[in-house]
Amino acid sequence: MRNPYSPGAGSPPPALVGRDSHLDAFDIAVQRLGIGRAAKSQMLTGLRGVGKTVLLREFGRTAESHGWTHVPTEATEDQRFVESMAALVRKALLRLSAGRRATERARRALGILRSFLVRWNLPDGGELALGFDSVPGFADSGALDDDLAGLFAALGGLARERHTGVLFTVDEVQYLSRDELSALIVGLHRVSQDQLPFMIAGAGLPSLPALAGEAKSYAERLFSFPVIDSLPSGEASEALSAPAAEEGVDWQHDALARIVNLTDGYPYFLQEFGKQAWDVADGPDQITITDVEAAIPVAVHELDSGFFRARIGRTTNNERAYLAAMASLGPGPHGSGKVAAAIGKTTTQVGPHRDALIKRGLCYSPRHGIIDFTVPMFDEFIRRWTA
């Protein structure tokens, strides 16, 4: 029998337990924008492994179910933001134009993209070389917020002409710089006043760049910022039991309770423990506490060598020492001063390592002078790993 907890095994529903309210709000927002009303998009934040990416992908499906075009992207530590924005716009324009005679508006939109590419020194995509003239005066000012607004307006206008809409989803938003995120928001705000069927949804770690000034107040108007967290025990149990029930398999009450307790309801952990318990269980139609006890060391080993290990992959010795000091203090958050003291240094001395860990998305600062892990139960892992 197939293991319903293997990555990619379950069709979306079990992996979306507890997220109905976000999905409903998103669905309504798409419909409102589709009829020219104002609506808020969502910028999801939360620790690693809580289900942000899964939910963002589901937003994409929701938009598609209304006939919209969805173009996803994921920011990385070392990627050029303007380049990925241009790529998203290009994909969306091409999809909106596919199989249709190019209207005046479509030609113009491609021309505006062309201006943007030239202004920002970006490679011209093959299709666009086909002779769409640049449209001077749009998306070529050199101010990123204005130029993005020009692109978004061209795209949204074309979508409206086609009686459809466009959604961009941007995952790992914490890797954008503050300037990039500000430009994105200010640009989006500028087109939002025209009530175009164009939307951007995002997800990122709690270390999302802190916005200031107009970008901050616009962000509050354009987005809600739901915090995606671990699942309360009832929903965590359901996330485990529902996929098994579909295969005609039951979980014993104690067996469920043990995993929910051990994982604190963190979705990624629930899935890994569920997967191992399923593999260990003799069945045929029940997973027992004995199965779970046997699966625990296997699941812990899998997490250590995969999920956790992957996070520390590229850290330096100094950064690891900082993580070890944090872990020695227990689960976070911790005062930065205490962490520094645990290594026998001053806050200033360890500042660069702390900043590097934040930049890599391993830690974040929930408040001034406070540091925490972005990965749930990371302190336990570090202690196992350095033991």
Ligand X SMILES: Nc1ncnc2c1ncn2[C@@H]1O[C@H](COP(=O)(O)OP(=O)(O)O)[C@@H](O)[C@H]1O
Residues in the site for ligand X, rule: CB under 6 A? 7, 14-19, 46, 48-54, 231, 239, 267-268, 270-271
Beta-strand relationship, 198-204 and 166-171: parallel
Which does residue 50 bind out of Mg ion, ligand X, none, counting CB within 5 to 8 angstroms by kind? ligand X
Closest to Mg ion by CB, 145 or 372: 372
Query: Minimum distance from CB of 56 to Mg ion (Å)?
Result: 8
Query: Minimum distance from CB of 263 to ligand X (Å)?
Result: 11
Closest to ligand X by CB, 114 or 275: 275
Q: Where do we find the tokens 């671990």?
A: 230
| Cβ atoms within 10 Å, residue 344 | 9
- 35-40 — which CB contacts under 8 Å span 24+ positions? 36/195, 36/197, 37/195, 38/192, 38/195, 39/199, 40/221, 40/222, 40/223, 40/224
Total residue count of the chain as it appears in this document: 387
Query: Minimum distance from CB of 161 to Mg ion (Å)?
Result: 34
Closest to ligand X by CB, 161 or 264: 264
Find the part of the chain contacting Mg ion (CB under 5 A) among 46-54, 158-166, 204-212, 217-225. Answer: 46-54
Residue 321: exposure state from Cβ atoms within 10 A (0-12, 13-18, ≥19) = middle
| String of contacts with Mg ion for each residue 156-195, x by CB under 5 A | ----------------------------------------
Query: Minimum distance from CB of 167 to ligand X (Å)?
Result: 17
Query: Minimum distance from CB of 31 to ligand X (Å)?
Result: 23
Closest to ligand X by CB, 47 or 106: 47
E strand or H helix that includes residue 319: helix 317-328
53 binds Mg ion (CB under 5 A): yes
Which does residue 361 bind out of Mg ion, ligand X, none, counting CB within 5 to 8 angstroms by kind? none
Query: Minimum distance from CB of 51 to ligand X (Å)?
Result: 2
Query: Minimum distance from CB of 272 to ligand X (Å)?
Result: 8
Closest to ligand X by CB, 14 or 34: 14
Task: Return left, alpha or beta for 288; rule: phi > 0 is left, psi -120 to 50 is alpha, else beta.
Answer: beta
Q: Give the separation between CA 204 and CA 210, rounded to whole angstroms.
A: 12
Q: Where do we find the tokens 């190019």?
A: 102
Which does residue 51 bind out of ligand X, Mg ion, none, counting CB within 5 to 8 angstroms by kind? ligand X
| 219-258 positions binding Mg ion, by CB under 5 A | none
- How many residues of this chain interact with Mg ion, rule: CB under 5 A? 2
Closest to Mg ion by CB, 8 or 284: 8
Query: Minimum distance from CB of 53 to ligand X (Å)?
Result: 3
Structure tokens given for 276: 């191992």
HEC string for 151-191: HHHHHHHHHHHCCCCEEEEEECHHHCCHHHHHHHHHHHHHH
73 binds Mg ion (CB under 5 A): no
Q: Give the separation between CA 95 and CA 287, rounded to whole angstroms.
A: 47
- Which residue of the chain is nearest ligand X when measured via CB? 51
Cis before 14 (ω within 30): no
Chain contacts with Mg ion (rule: CB under 5 A): 52-53
